Structures are given as C-alpha cells and as structure tokens.
Structure 1
Amino acid sequence: MADSTNSLMSTGGVNGLGIVGLNSGMDTAGMVKKIMKYDRMPLDRTNQDIQLLLWKEEAFRTQNTSLSTLRDSVFDLKLETSYNTRTVANSDDQVAAATAASNAANGSYAIKVDKLATFSSNSSTDDPKSITKGVFLSSQVIGTSKSLITIDKAHHSFDLTVDGTRTTVDLSKLSGKYSAGVKGGKSLTRLAENIQKQVKKAFHKEGINDISVKVKVTSNNQLEFYTDDGLKHNITINSVANNSILNDLGFKDGATVSTIDSATSLYNLRDQFVNADGYFTNKSTPTDTFNFTINGQAFKFTNNDSIDTIINRINATTTAGVTAFLDPESNKLMFTAAKSGDYNHGRPGIVIDDTDGVLKSLFKIDQTNSTVGENAEFSVNGTSFKQAGNSFAINGLTLNFTGTGSSTVSVSTDTTDIVKKVNDFITAYNKTLSGMNEQITKTRPTKSGKHYDPLTDEQKGQMSEAQIKKWEDLAQEGLLNNDQLMISTVTDLRTKMS
C-alpha cells in the first residue's frame, strides 16, 4: 500500500504544470497555453478592430485639417479687406512718415513742411550755466564712519587728476590727527584749507597756476573736492603705491566727479545748489514742506523728498499736463508740455506758481522761462494747413511729420498681397485634392494574401521596434480606399471649381 502511494505522487508537479498522478509524457503546459491563446482570440480581434478604427479616424482627421486650411484660404478671398490693402511710396521719409489704411484713396500727394509743431517748455536757466557748483567729489561721512584722520610719515599722499593732468599731492607737512567737531588747527575745516593749498602747489609744479579745484567740508562732515565756475570738469582721485592717505580721507581709489544724485533727498543735497542759502534759510529741516503748482495742479513735498520723487510724481499726475526730467549733463530740471503746439493762443503752455520759491531758488525755474509751443505749418497738394500737432490724416492716409522739406507720397493697391492670397488658395486646394485622391486610390497591402492587421501584444513581444514600426506603417495604408464619404467630398470640390 505504501508503494502505491509513492507511485501516485512521483510524477507531475506544480512547477511543470502537469496533472498529478498521470505519468503519460503529455505536454500539458503547451496544451494549456494553446487553449488560453484560443480563448484570447476574440479579445485580440476586438482590440485589432478598435485600433483600425482609431487609425482610420486619424486618417480622416488629417484630411479634415487640409479641408480647414482650404476653407480659411477661401474665407480670406471672400473678405473685402483682402483686396483693399494699400502700399505707400515715399520720396523722403525724413520729412514725413506715411501709412495708409485699407480705405485710403489711391493717388499722389505733394507734401511740403515749413515748420514742425513744438512743445511749450520751461527749464533751469543757462545763467549761471549749471544749477550746481560745477562738479564735486565727496568723501564718506567723516565723524561717523571716519571719526579720525591721521596724517603721518606712512600715510600722507594721493594722486589727483583734473581734466587730464595727473599729479601727486603730498600732505606730509600736515601731519597730525584731524576730526569732526574740533575747532582750530586740527579741525576738518583747517585740514580742507591746507589740502587745497597743497593741491595748488602740486599743480603749479605741473605748469598749471590757476587750478579750478577747491576743497571744503560739507554740512554732512564730508571732505569735498569741487569747482564753482559752472563748467564741466573731470576730476579723479587715486591712491599711490606708497604712503597713501586716500582711504583715511574717506575716498575710494579711482573715485571720480559726481553730478547731482537725483535719488538723494534735497536736504542732503543742500551743499550742491548755488542758491541753497536762499531756500534752506527758511526751510532748514528735513521735514519742512514746500508747495508749487503747475497748470493749476498743486504739488506738496518735503525736504526729505528726492528729485526723482518730485519728477515721478509730476509725471504721474496727468492733470499737470507736463513731463519733467533732469538732464544728467547739465543738471538742469526741465518741464515739457504733454501736447504740442500753441494751444494756449500765444500764452505759455506751462504756467508755474512757485509758492515757496523752491523751483526758483534751487533749480532756477520761474514763469519767465516758459516758452510758447508753435503750430505746425505745411501744405498738401498746394493747400496750406496750420495745426497744433505733427500728425495729419487725409483720405485714409496718415502723415507724421518728422522734419521740414518736401516729399511726394503715393498710395496704390497692394497687388502683392492679393496674389499671395490667391496662390495660398491654389496651393491648399491642390494639396487637399491630391491628399484625398491618394487615400481613395491606395489599396491595403497584403502578405500571403492577408492584410497587415494591428499587432497583438504577443506578436509585438516577438519583434524589434523597427519591425513593429514597419508593420504598423503598412497596416495603416489604404484604410480609406474607396471610402464613399471621401469620394463624395472630392466630387464636390471638383464640381465647385469647374
């Protein structure tokens, strides 16, 4: 009985997918695989049919895209504007820039510009030439970051370049310790006076007897090299290889002249304005306010505000009707009217009421500086015109005057654009018809009398990527062969074009 039991369990097994107890030698695993493959055939066929429908849908979508392009080109041809584009020929665009609308009348226009419209303006006066004391070069704040300046045998020289002439300034005879807040021989003021003397001596050796550079201490306890002749000068200060005092004086190596720092508050710039005393005597604190109006629009600021703040607020206030800016070369504050021409009938286009005198005292601007804008004067085909602006429209043609002189402007229909639209239509029509005919006439390829059907997952597993692509390309050919919808569409296209 024990032998019989061993016989029943000795053949077959789970790993071999055999049937336990049968020792017949049959390929039971292969049989099961074939049975499963047979059972999957309806599912595989369904998946293949779905894939064919998806490919066919994609083929229709491609043809539909071509039809959409053709429809768009037909639509362009139906638009009236497609035939109304204009081209402009201009003999001198330095006199006027010309553009033509689609409804512009074809023709020739003789343009003559005698005078351009100008803008009313007001700016700092030219006398003196600058609203600042020439140019200036300031140190760090002495007494805060540099509480003590020591001049000795190891620290006493620097190089100063003025308008291209460079020389070494030796302060060794000024040895000692100098600081802010001290009066007498060791004060910053006395140091500045003595530095100026040494600067003059140094440039005298270079053959320059009338050096324009001066030295002082500002109200912020800064050492400052400056000029006060109202002229533009180039000043640069450099350290020397040995015994340099530059860092102790509060200057960086290579520091050069400064113009007005428009981001700094007016209060901190008070030493730079020629007429600072005339204003800051009565407005002596950072929080003091000042007022003025431009064209009736009131403005209020404090001494803590910067020139940039003043300019930006004016420019943001459209009711003032002006644009303000600071010329970086001359440091002049300038106002320009927002619109051109003599719109105030001979009166200034910018009316200023300098309530607290800040514009006149610091920036040398007052109402007497205002100019009146002028109107443009021109003729078109012999007819004269005068107007406030430099833009003029006639018969759909817009002229923007840019200079005085004469020019001939011609307007004509732009046939280039029309030809392009017609060619675009022909190209789209031929491409659409050709593509559809190709799909209708192309038959599905076969292999051994059978069509190339979509591959099953099992089939793909036995092929390379290149083989799969080649097979599927063949499987997608001819899917719209003799498709009745396509044939009907082609017939309709040909009929409409005949």
Structure 2
Amino acid sequence: MATSTTSSVPVGSTGAGGGNTLRITGLNTGLDIDAMVKKMLIADQSKVDQAKQAQQLIKWKQEAYQSIITDVKDLQSTYFDITNSENYLMSSNSYNNMTATSSSESTVGAKASSNVTAGTYKILVSQLAKGATITGESKLEITTGEHIGDDVTDSTTLKELGITNTDGKVSFKVSYGSNGSTTSEKTINVNESSTIGELVNAIKNETEGAVTAKFDELTGKFSIQTTTTGLGSTLKIEDTNNALSNLKISESDKNVNKNGQDALVAIKEPGSDKYVTSTQSSNNFTVNGMSYTISDINSTVDITGSGIEVDANSTDSPVSISVTQDTSKVHDLISSFIDKYNNLVGEIQDKLNEKKDYDYKPLTDSQKEEMSDTDITNWEDKAKQGILRNDDNLQQLLNDLTSAFNTPVVDSSGKSISSFYFGSIGSNALGIDTSDDYSQGAKLSITDDQQFTDIITNHIDDIMKLFTTTSDSKDTTTKFNESGIFERINQIINNNVGVIGTTLNSGTLTKYANLQDDYSVTGGSGTGTLPDQIYQKQLLINTLTERMNADQTKYYNQFTQLEVAMEQLNAQQSTLSLYLG
C-alpha cells in the first residue's frame, strides 16, 4: 500500500535567497539543508559583498567630492558673485579706499572714487534738473454723472470729467525726445469709461516708461512729464479729439515743444578758494571722480554756464563733503578672502594626504547585523579615511591655484602690468605669499602686513591691476598670463564647479562627481564619472545576485530530490516491514 509523502514538504521562505518555494526541510535525511545551502553559497555571497563594498567606496568618494564642491561654491558665491557687492573681488568699487561723508544727505549725497583727492568739498545747488513737463493750469472737476461736486481721485472716469466722444474713445498724441529734438511719437488710446489711474498707466506703457503722468490729489492737477531730465529733454502733446481741454491743459501748452531744465551747481574742491559752476542734465552726476546726488536747493548763486568761478552768497548754506582715505576696507576684504581660501585649501590638502587604513573596509549587511549603530558609524568613519588620497583632479586644482598667484601678470607685450608683484621678497613685493611648506599646498599668508597696507594706501590702482585685470585673448595660456590674480582664480573655480547659479555642468569636479553618462545595458559607454562607476557596479551586483539566486534554487532543488528519494525509500522500507511483520 502507498504512503503519502506530502507531510514532509512544507512551503517556506528559508535559505540565503528567501522566496516562496516548495522546499524540503531535511526531515528524511536529517540534514540542516538551509545551513548547508548557505555554506554552499558563500562563494557567491562573497562576490556580491565585494561588489557592494567596491560600490560603497565609490559612493563615499562621491560624497567627499560633493562636500568639497559645496565649499568651493561657497568661496565662489562669497567673493566672485557680482550680485554680492559687499565682497565682490572683481569690482573696482571693492578697492575704493576713499570714503565720502556729506553734512546733509537730504540735500547732496556723494561717493568718492579711488582717484579723488582727500579733503573737504563744498557744493551749492541753485537749480535741480527736471524733465520736460506739461501741467494742467487748474484743478480737475467732475462735471457729469452722479458725483458732480465730489473731489477727483484716481478712480474718477474720464467721462465724469466731461471727456466724451460719440464712439466712446479718447486719444491724443505724445511726442518726446532728448538732445533738444523730438525722436518718438505715440498715440494714447483709452475709453471714456477709463479712470484717471488707467490713463496714467496707458501713457507710461505706450511710451515704455519714457513719459509718465501723474494726478496730484493735493493740487487736483494732472501733469505729463518725461523721465529723462535736462534742457535737452523734449515733450509735446497734440489733442486729437478735445481730450486735453478737460484735463485742464491750456491751449498754449498744446502742439508746442516743452523742454526740461538742467541742474545748476557750483563746487569748491580741496585747495581752491573759489566755487566753479557746472551745468548738469541729471541730478546724479560725476565730476573729477566724485559722484553727486542732489535732491534740494541750497543757494541763490547766479549760474549762467559751466566752468565759471563764483563766490557764495551770504545767504547760502553749502553742503560740505569730507573725503577721507580708509585702507581697512580693502585690507579686511583681502584678508577675509585669504582666511576662507586657506580653509578650503587646507581641507583639500588634508584629503590628499590622508592615509588609508586597509584594515577597515565597508561593512557587509551580515556584519552590520552584529554591530551597534555607534560601532557601525565609528567603523565607517575609519573606512572613509584616505578616500581622496592623491586624487588627480584635486591635486590639479591646487596646482592651478598656486600657479594663479605665482605666475607674473603681464600685458600683451610681456611686461609686468603692475609696479608690484605677488610675493614677499623685495621692496616691490606685495607682502602676500604662498606657503613654502609643501604640506600646506597653496595656502596664503600676509608676510608683511605693513608693506601690504602701505601699497593699499598709496598704490591702490596697482593693486587693482594686479588682481582684477581681464584679458580678451582667445589663447588659453595667453589669457591666463594677461589676467589678474583674482580673475584667474575666478576662472579656475568656474572650470572646476561651473559658473554661479549652475548645479549640473561640465566643470571638472562637478561632472566627475554628479553627471552620469552611462545608461547602457552593459555599462560600457560612459566617461568614467563617479555616477558611471556606481551604475556599472550596480549592474555587476545585479548580475551576481541573479547568479546567486539561480545557484540557491539549484541547490534546493537538488536537496529536494534527495529528500523525496529518501522519503520514498523510507516508505518502501515501512511497507516491507509490514509484510515481513
């Protein structure tokens, strides 16, 4: 008689690979099949673990690269971002060591360039610059509708002012220009239902901001004016359907060119006992390196032209502007750059010199299961050491940075562009030098602070040439030699991490750390970036895992066959025993 064998074949998920497979647990043979299969898969598991460990090392290297890229970008955004005006090393404003202080900012503000003479400047303002303006001669009134007698506001409609036409449209022409001539003409089209505020917007929009309009609720008057100021600015309006009369524009102001007015000032510079007159088309102007912003009148001096010497009147209250030299701004800016730069260089140099302890490899999953979180963290910190040791890209970056400082800055004829040079030896040395300690990489130090300060004080133009000169050469080597030191640094940073505002770019470090080129099935079409290497290792892990799973299934099938055979043998023996009783 036959004996059932299904009782010894349970459904389970045991073994190295798991899964829902029909497996024999060794009831008939007495063998620990799961343990035996696991041992048989040691070679397969070892290959998978090794591939995962190799991939983990690449991922750690990627993380280390990304950390350095972040710090390089931090240096870049702090000192080479044009929008960061306080610290932008490429702007002449950053090297301006002259400070101007006005006795009355509400009347005249001033800013001194680096080449102005220190001392006290005095300025008289007898007239402000204005744009060409046409203003209604009287207050606007509501003449129709339910609001007759009410005050006019921006929300009052043109129809309520009595501006109506059979087609409901309102239009007039505005002509404007500069240098005393009319260069543009625009037709302003609105509807009688449009408000005064909408008319104001229409004038600005149609002329692209060259002409603006305003309704003054205090005076009740409507005005049109050019945004450009000065005697040369012109404005003319032409009434095409009687719209302007209801805006209280007088007949004498229609169809004629109106001009703006110039600012009239008189300036007394240090060392002079007379004021010299000047006619300016704008209220913001520069004279001999001093930039002035005038906002109010403080003089009755009769100014009839430019370049005339005059005396102040007894009733005048001139604004005094004190210009002093301040070397601390430039000194502190360059010093702060050196500190941040040295921190970055030190970080890279440490990574390049960090020794690797080969006793610490990435942990396998089975190893992590036997360790605490703290032990895992400590182990991995050790395993990450030396991940960037002697890295070619980072070493090249440091070499380029060192060369940026040590290579003389020359003009197109090969002559030094500045009277001073980067270094610490000689009377014309800047007093800043790179470290002569190889282990310090390209770190900088101010070797002679007094000499550096003296050069800032007396030769700021030479400092600017040495640091900020740009070159138009298309040849890479020539461009490098003809560029100032900070211009070189800026370009080196761009070449390694990309220009400001970009994340994924072709910069050497960024591309190597972040850009994956290989998406092929076999993993052989990339450019060797870290994401490519991670991807290729993942393909290998997938292949080895599939192979291990296949071996596991094969081994379990073999043991299953053995168990079934043993169970059949046991059944036959049991039957035979019954017969032989």
In the alignment, the residues of structure 2 paired with residue 320 and residue 66 of structure 1 have an alpha-carbon distance, to the nearest angstrom, of 43
Listed one character per residue, the Cα deviations across residues 48-99 of structure 1 (whole Å, up to 9, x for unaligned) are 2332343245446645766787899999999694873344322222222223
In the alignment, the residues of structure 1 paired with residue 171 and residue 54 of structure 2 have an alpha-carbon distance, to the nearest angstrom, of 86
Look up the match of 2:320. Answer: 407
- The answer as to 2:236 corresponding to 1:328 is no
Selected match of 2:438 from 461, 482, 491 = 491
Selected match of 2:360 from 452, 455, 468 = 452
Alpha carbons 1:292, 1:353 under 8 Å: kept? yes
Look up the match of 1:93. Answer: 105
Query: Aligned AA for 1:392?
Result: F
Normalised by the size of structure 2, how large is the TM-score? Answer: 0.48
Query: Aligned AA for 1:401?
Result: I
Look up the match of 1:315. Answer: 204
Listed one character per residue, the Cα deviations across residues 454-491 of structure 1 (whole Å, up to 9, x for unaligned) are 22233445556565444433432454679899999782
- The answer as to 2:50 corresponding to 1:40 is no
In the alignment, the residues of structure 2 paired with residue 24 and residue 300 of structure 1 have an alpha-carbon distance, to the nearest angstrom, of 102
Larger helix share, 1 or 2: 2
Q: Cα–Cα, structure 1 residues 61 and 264, in superposed 2: closer, same or farther, change >3 Å?
A: closer
- The answer as to 2:63 corresponding to 1:52 is no
- The answer as to 2:380 corresponding to 1:472 is yes
- The answer as to 2:252 corresponding to 1:339 is no
Alpha carbons 1:286, 1:304 under 8 Å: kept? no
Look up the match of 2:341. Answer: 428
Query: Aligned AA for 1:472?
Result: E
Q: Kindly tell me the number of residue pairs found equivalent between the two proteins.
A: 351
In the alignment, the residues of structure 2 paired with residue 369 and residue 82 of structure 1 have an alpha-carbon distance, to the nearest angstrom, of 45
Query: Aligned AA for 2:250?
Result: D
Deviation at 1:333, TM superposition (A): 1.9
Deviation at 1:329, TM superposition (A): 4.3
Query: Aligned AA for 1:342?
Result: L
- Mapping of 1:293-442 within 5 angstroms? 297=185, 299=187, 304=192, 306-308=194-196, 310-318=199-207, 322-343=211-232, 350-354=235-239, 356-360=241-245, 362-368=246-252, 373-381=260-268, 382-405=275-298, 406-410=319-323, 412=325, 415-430=328-343, 432-433=345-346, 436-437=349-350, 440=353
Alpha carbons 1:105, 1:395 under 8 Å: kept? yes
Alpha carbons 1:321, 1:337 under 8 Å: kept? yes
Alpha carbons 2:355, 2:385 under 8 Å: kept? yes
Normalised by the size of structure 1, how large is the TM-score? Answer: 0.55
Q: Cα–Cα, structure 1 residues 400 and 68, in superposed 2: closer, same or farther, change >3 Å?
A: closer
In the alignment, the residues of structure 2 paired with residue 482 and residue 355 of structure 1 have an alpha-carbon distance, to the nearest angstrom, of 80
Listed one character per residue, the Cα deviations across residues 395-432 of structure 1 (whole Å, up to 9, x for unaligned) are 33321211233231526465324322223213432553
Alpha carbons 2:134, 2:253 under 8 Å: kept? yes
Partner SS for 1:43: helix
Partner SS for 2:60: helix
- Mapping of 1:226-241 within 5 angstroms? 227=149
Deviation at 1:493, TM superposition (A): 4.5
- Mapping of 1:156-195 within 5 angstroms? none
Q: Cα–Cα, structure 1 residues 403 and 293, in superposed 2: closer, same or farther, change >3 Å?
A: closer
Listed one character per residue, the Cα deviations across residues 317-351 of structure 1 (whole Å, up to 9, x for unaligned) are 4499643222334442222244334338xxxx554
In the alignment, the residues of structure 1 paired with residue 395 and residue 230 of structure 2 have an alpha-carbon distance, to the nearest angstrom, of 69
Larger Rg belongs to: 1
Greater RCO (CA < 8 Å, at least 6 residues apart): 1
- Mapping of 1:213-228 within 5 angstroms? 227=149
Look up the match of 2:479. Answer: none
Alpha carbons 1:378, 1:386 under 8 Å: kept? yes
Deviation at 1:453, TM superposition (A): 2.5
Identify unmatched segments of 5+ residues in structure 1.
134-217, 228-256, 445-449
- The answer as to 2:118 corresponding to 1:107 is yes
Deviation at 1:113, TM superposition (A): 1.8
Query: Aligned AA for 1:491?
Result: Y
Alpha carbons 1:115, 1:377 under 8 Å: kept? yes
Alpha carbons 2:229, 2:281 under 8 Å: kept? yes
Q: Cα–Cα, structure 1 residues 463 and 81, in superposed 2: closer, same or farther, change >3 Å?
A: same
Partner SS for 2:47: helix
Alpha carbons 1:391, 1:401 under 8 Å: kept? yes
Partner SS for 1:98: strand
Q: Cα–Cα, structure 1 residues 11 and 106, in superposed 2: closer, same or farther, change >3 Å?
A: same
Identify unmatched segments of 5+ residues in structure 2.
13-22, 81-86, 177-181, 269-274, 299-318, 399-436, 446-581
In the alignment, the residues of structure 2 paired with residue 427 and residue 42 of structure 1 have an alpha-carbon distance, to the nearest angstrom, of 45
Query: Aligned AA for 1:50?
Result: Q
Look up the match of 1:27. Answer: 32
Q: Cα–Cα, structure 1 residues 418 and 30, in superposed 2: closer, same or farther, change >3 Å?
A: same
- Mapping of 1:253-264 within 5 angstroms? 259=152, 262=155, 264=157
Partner SS for 2:331: helix
Larger strand share, 1 or 2: 1
Alignment RMSD = 4.8
Partner SS for 1:420: helix
- The answer as to 2:130 corresponding to 1:118 is yes
In the alignment, the residues of structure 1 paired with residue 440 and residue 343 of structure 2 have an alpha-carbon distance, to the nearest angstrom, of 10
Deviation at 1:41, TM superposition (A): 1.4
Listed one character per residue, the Cα deviations across residues 14-55 of structure 1 (whole Å, up to 9, x for unaligned) are 5585588x8453323321222123432132123223323432
